[in-house]
Amino acid sequence: MLQIKKMENQVSIEKQVVNFISQQKRGTLFFPDDFVDFGSDGATRLALHRLENKDFLIRLAQGVYLYPEKDDLLGIIYPTIDEVAQAIAGRDKARIIPTGVEALNRLGLSTQVPMKVVYLTDGAPREVKVGKNSIKFKKTTPKNLAVKGEISGLVIQALRELGQEQVTESNKTKIHELLNKENPDHVLHDARLAPAWIRKIMLHSKETT
């Protein structure tokens, strides 16, 4: 009798999870914490596992589930690594900013696509495997996350990755073009947070506009 009741309770939790997810937009990412009101942690995780087996959800990483959007030609449309990272950061109420090769790629300074994307964060440091890729959240100081501009923040991280001696005139020209699209006040603010040699490159873009 107890076993039957337990099974009925599990079915009820699964239905609640399905109803909740079905009201959301396809392509949305979910975490077990999104369903805490439906039952115990173990029960909701079991419900998510069952829905994964039914192809209702796709598990992208440990504790990260996708309500899949399907295209007749392309099949399942998967989120980008950055979309997964942003969703995790949103759940954790943490700030993040991409670094290294990812920052270079975003700015068009490199065509290399990293298998491991590293983000600076004020949240918990961790590494999340997403298929063949991984997302690494690296703890940093508040100063590194205090940038106001998306482009200027990426420029700082991209230049850090290149290194002072490796920055070419072509790189500088591209960076100046990008910073000219950024809010000038944000460029000034963010340049003050950067090392002196990076600040010089960033502010030169304003002098030449």
Q: How many CB atoms lie within 10 A of CB 99?
A: 23
Q: What are the residue boundaries of the structural domains of the chain, listed by start?
A: 27-79, 81-207
The pair phi, psi for residue 37, each rounded to 5°, is -80, -10
The parts of the chain modelled with pLDDT lower than 50 are: 1-6, 8, 208-209
CA-to-CA separations, 205 to 85, 109, 160, in angstroms, rounded: 30, 16, 17
Q: Residue 205 has what pLDDT?
A: 60
Task: Judge if pTM exceeds 0.75.
Answer: yes
Q: Would you call 204 helix, strand, or coil by DSSP?
A: helix
Per DSSP, 163 falls in state -
Summarize pLDDT for 145-171 with one digit per residue, the tens: 999 999 999 999 999 999 999 999 999
Instruction: Spell out the residues 6+ positions from residue 190 whose beta carbon is closer than 8 angstroms to its own.
Output: 147, 148, 149, 152, 153, 155, 156, 202
- Sheet order of strands, 64-66 included: 29-30, 64-66, 58-61
* pLDDT at residue 10 in the model: 62
